[in-house]
């Protein structure tokens, strides 16, 4: 069974981690994380102050049963745009 690895960023003053990418491959997730940290500005032009890679199991342990669904919604919301 494969596990999804979520790339999450946090912006200055942000209260939570926001998922911006997901991959079944941890090495690819690390590459996506590096790009997100350097290049992913929010709607106010701020770049992330933190980035992390979390496996689906880790997210569920940290944030409860809805944490993985929330990460998936973050990604879907970003894909559909404003």
Mean pLDDT of 13-30: 93
Q: Give me the sheet containing 5-10, strands edge to edge.
A: 18-23, 5-10, 50-55
Residue 1 has pLDDT above 70, yes or no: no
Nearest to 51 by CA among 64, 43, 60, 40: 40
Cβ pair 53, 33 in contact under 8 A: yes
pTM: 0.88
Q: What is the pLDDT of residue 31?
A: 96
For residue 18, the surrounding DSSP H or E stretch is: strand 18-23
pLDDT digits over 25-71, tens only? 999 999 999 998 888 888 888 889 999 999 999 999 999 989 999 99
Comparison of pLDDT for 50 and 2, the residue scoring more:
50
């Amino acid at each position: 069974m494969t596990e999804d690895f979520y790339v999450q960023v946090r912006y200055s003053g942000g209260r939570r981690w926001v998922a911006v990418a997901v991959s079944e491959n941890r090495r690819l997730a690390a590459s996506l994380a590096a790009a997100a940290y350097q290049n992913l500005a929010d709607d106010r032009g701020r770049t992330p102050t933190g980035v992390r890679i979390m496996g689906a199991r880790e997210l569920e342990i940290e944030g409860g049963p809805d944490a993985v669904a929330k990460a998936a919604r973050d990604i879907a919301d970003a894909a559909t745009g404003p």
